[in-house]
Amino acid sequence: MNTLVLARSGTTLRMLTADRVLLGIAVLLAALAVLDPAQLPRSVWFTGEALFGIAPYLIAAVAIAAYAKASGADALIARAFSGSPQRTVIAASLVGALSPFCSCGVIPLIAGMLRAGVPLAPVMAFWIASPLMSPEMFVLTAAGIGTGFAIAKTVVTVAMGLLAGFAVLGLERVQGPIDVLVAQPAASGCCKAKNTCGDKPTVQWRFWHEASRRAAFRGEALTNGRFLLRWLTLAFVLESLMIAYIPADLIAGVLGGQSWFAIPLATLVGVPTYLNGYAAIPLISGLLDMGMSQGAAMSFVTAGAVSSIPAAIAVWALVRRRVFVLYVLLGLIGSALAGIAYQLSGAPV
């Protein structure tokens, strides 16, 4: 019995040390158990609750991506974004403003789009715009902060998506196509089926009738699901620690002013201290009551939504370093410009 226990422990240890994500989660939880035992169950509960809340989006996005790969529809998706680059960027920005995804919830969908071969420009436009606004977020923002702020944030959402998409287009025109994914997925098993590979792949919507396509579905779903679940778990553990150890009073003390550097400071502070879109509404309302400028509030809420640390961790694992830096820079620059424009407009909250 002792030998079996030791063997299993050794296998678990090897799995942890071989997987840096699982190792990171284990180290964080072990550190909590030693340094702050009372916080450990809170962090575990928060992580589980966050994963449960995002599970419908995660499952749907993974299933859609696997279905597209197995059926051959991924080629059609890529073709839909192969028209006019300008038109696809505009469409992606508008759709992103209406989508109900948070900064972490949009990652599975983005992964599926990139793996389907969708160009980076419209993906980046959607990526930046999607976490900022949704119909539900608009209503809650209007109720919690003000209708003027909600309308301005909606305009900012579309503008930031356009800025990101056209910036990528400009960069690609200068240096050529950008290599996006960390590791390109291997060709799926459906390529073994007759007439399913090549420039004009056969689309089989009822893919489950072919064994090779069923295998492709399972492989794609397991690969994407495991990848996203591991990194999102680490992201939510870190978010629980930020909530526990970064007091809201500290944020108010740093950002509650009208000085000239309030907007760039709010842009930078918004990244590590932002919690989520819904938690940010009462926080922003309180900061505005404490004297925070309107522009700083806009920069804080947009920068945090786009490049919060939990979302950034998942992005870091998904794309190449150059694309990650581009994503963060576009989010920060767009947020700073949004805050400056909103402040200069003098629009009431």
> Which residues, 6+ apart, have CB-to-CB distance to 152 below 8 Å?
298, 342, 345, 347
Give this prediction's pTM. Answer: 0.63
Asked if the model's pLDDT at residue 201 lies above 60, the reply is no
Q: Are 46 and 242 in contact (CB under 8 A)?
A: no
Q: Compute the distance between CA of residue 81 and CA of residue 53 in angstroms, rounded to an integer.
A: 30
Q: Compute the distance between CA of residue 343 and CA of residue 126 in angstroms, rounded to an integer.
A: 25
> Which residues, 6+ apart, have CB-to-CB distance to 252 below 8 Å?
286, 287, 290, 292
At 167, is the pLDDT very low, low, confident or very high (cuts 50, 70, 90)? very high
Q: Are 239 and 310 in contact (CB under 8 A)?
A: yes
Read off the pLDDT of residues 277-332 as tens digits, 9 standing for 90 and up.
655 666 677 677 767 788 888 888 888 777 666 667 767 777 888 888 888 889 88
Look up residue 278 and give its two tokens. 């819904």
Read off the pLDDT of residues 44-74 as tens digits, 9 standing for 90 and up.
998 898 788 778 867 876 787 677 777 776 6
> Which residues, 6+ apart, have CB-to-CB distance to 137 below 8 Å?
277, 278
Q: Compute the distance between CA of residue 203 and CA of residue 42 in angstroms, rounded to an integer.
A: 47
Which range (9-23, 186-200, 249-263) has the least confidence? 186-200
Share above pLDDT 70 across residues of the chain, in percent, rounded to a whole number: 69
Number of H helices, E strands in the chain: 16, 0
> Which residues, 6+ apart, have CB-to-CB distance to 29 below 8 Å?
40, 43, 44, 237
Task: Check residue 55 and give its pLDDT.
Answer: 81
For the chain, helix, strand, coil in percent to 5 are 75, 0, 20
**Paired residues of 319 in beta bridges:** 181
Asked if the model's pLDDT at residue 98 lies above 50, the reply is yes
Task: Check residue 80 and give its pLDDT.
Answer: 60
Question: In whole angstroms, how large is the CA radius of gyration of the chain?
Answer: 22
Amino acid identity, residue 101?
Answer: F
Task: Check residue 187 and give its pLDDT.
Answer: 39
